[in-house]
Amino acid sequence: MAGWPVVGHEWATDLLAHAVRSGQVSHAYLFVGPDQIGKLTLARAFMQAMLCDRAEGPPCVDPSDMCRACRRVAEGRYPDAQVIAAEKNWIQIDQVRTLLTDAAIAPLEGKRKVFVIREIERATPAAANALLKTLEEPPPHVVLLLTSDRRDLVLPTVLSRCQILSLRPLPVERVRTALQERWGVEEDQAALLARLSGGRLGWAAQAATEPRVWQTRAKYLDDLLALTSGGHVERLAYSESLSRANDGVEVALGLWAGWWRDLLLIQNGQAEALLNLDRKAQLVQQAALYRPEQAQAALVDLMRTLRRVRGNVNLRLALDVLLLRLPRPAVS
């Protein structure tokens, strides 16, 4: 649907726009899909569309011509629109209680009250249970928009009470053009970021605008190279420090998986599909140092460890095993 402040996911904006136009908005939606794929952006746009003063049209997009409601929703100052996120890694029972108290009161300005709850899988059992009753019998003016990148961890009782929208990565080309047109990124950089993003526009936009993301990538890739030639002591010490990096663990493992994938591509003569285009010379040099089965085994180990890390295993142990098994250059 043209006019939504969302890149891609047209089927979803069409569906939500139709719900607003026809007055058939459900009381609960769950947006699922990989991290930084656009779930929150879509939920915010939907929130705006429901509360827009120019009702039943698309939400106001142009920052210089926004209705009062859309402007305040966008700035987080609209009394009937709230976004709730985990505090100290968890969505706490007190946060849900506050939401429920608020939800029970009629809207102050709009015809609805809309609550976004991010990463619903982080709700403590008590918080999830408190929310369930409202999901079952919500006050008629309340709409709940939940997001999650871990659908497998969302309680079945929550899933069954929501309309579920599964977002998929955008085509890489779509990410590239969006970076150039909306964020003014240079063509080569946009092509590289789009490749690395795997279709997650949120990641690409953040990497384009925050040097920190880029520096972190460089650090983890350099660390990997140092670790392959490091001994047991270095590897275990690194495991210890990485295990304390919280979100950094998945970032590092994802980058390393991409690295070994690239090595395999070069070994198979498919360098045109590389992710890490900016490090091609280094990849070619490294690819010559390993047998293909070593790169393959390293990639499989990383994918397995990523799944285990997401499944809340003993993180330190999983990283110890991964790093001790990391291959050493075998070809000289």
DSSP state of 298: H
Of 59-67, 75-83, 139-147, 312-320, the window that binds Zn ion (rule: CB under 5 A) is 59-67
Nearer to Zn ion, 116 or 196 (CB): 116
Asked if 75 contacts 30 with a C-beta cutoff of 8 angstroms, the reply is: no
Closest distance to Zn ion from the beta carbon of 56 (Å): 11
- Residue 170 amino acid letter: L
Nearest distance from residue 83's CB to Zn ion, in Å?
17
Q: Is 241 exposed, middle or buried (0-12, 13-18, 19+ CB in 10 A)?
A: exposed
Minimum CB–partner distance for residue 69 and Zn ion (Å): 5
Assigned token pair, 4: 């939504």
Q: Rule CB under 5 A: is residue 49 a binding residue for Zn ion? A: no
Give yes or no for residue 51 binding Zn ion (CB under 5 A): no
Among 17, 25, 42, 52, binds Zn ion (CB under 5 A): 52
Closer to Zn ion by CB, 55 or 284: give it. Answer: 55
From candidates 70, 84, 306, 319, binder to Zn ion by CB under 5 A: 70
Q: What is the DSSP letter of 60?
A: P
Q: Which stretch binds Zn ion (CB under 5 A): 50-58, 122-130, 199-207, 304-312?
A: 50-58
- Candidate list 15, 55, 67, 83; residue touching Zn ion; CB under 5 A: 67
Identity of the amino acid at 239: S
| Torsion on CA atoms 274, 280, 286, 287, rounded to nearest 10 | 40
**Could you say whether residue 60 binds Zn ion (CB under 5 A)?**
yes
CB atoms within 10 A of CB 101: 9
Calpha distance 127→143 (Å, rounded): 18
CB of 148 to Zn ion, least distance (A): 27
Distance of closest approach, residue 116 Cβ to Zn ion, in angstroms: 17
| Interaction between residue 6 and Zn ion (CB under 5 A) | no
Q: CA–CA separation, 259 vs 326, rounded Å?
A: 13
Size of the site for Zn ion (CB under 5 A): 4
Q: E strands along 158-215, which residues?
A: 163-166
Instruction: Please identify which residue in the block is written with the tokens 């809340």.
Output: 312
Least distance between Zn ion and beta carbon 225 (Å)? 50
Would you tell me which residues interact with Zn ion (CB under 5 A)?
52, 60, 67, 70
